[in-house]
């Protein structure tokens, strides 16, 4: 939690866009997409650039596009 607060305070965010459907992927990957807050194709969200968020995005890197 402290890392998220520090990243948000520093203004470091990453923009995540869902570009591939999670249909046909494992339950774990679907849950990761949901946990990030992505619901629809081509939906874009801003999240703090923390190691935890990076790990989540890395695990579904084939489904998302990241802009820093």
Say if residues 47 and 8 touch (Cβ distance below 8 Å): no
Specify the pLDDT at position 11: 77
pTM: 0.82
pLDDT per position in the chain (68 positions), as tens? 566 556 555 679 999 999 999 999 999 999 999 999 999 999 999 999 999 999 999 999 999 999 98
For residue 56, give every residue at least 6 positions away whose Cβ sits within 8 Å of its Cβ, in sequence order, or none: 32, 35, 36
CA distance 29 to 44: 18
| Residue 68 pLDDT | 87
Whether the Cβ atoms of residue 8 and residue 53 lie closer than 8 Å to each other:
no
Full set of structural domains in the chain with CATH: 2-67 (3.30.1390.20)
């Amino acid at each position: 939690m402290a890392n998220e607060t520090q990243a948000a305070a520093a203004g470091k965010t990453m923009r995540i866009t869902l570009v591939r459907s999670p249909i046909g992927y494992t339950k774990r990957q679907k849950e990761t997409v949901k946990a990030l807050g992505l619901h629809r194709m081509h939906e874009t969200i801003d999240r703090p650039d923390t190691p935890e968020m990076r790990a989540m995005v890395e695990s579904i890197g084939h489904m998302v596009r990241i802009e820093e």
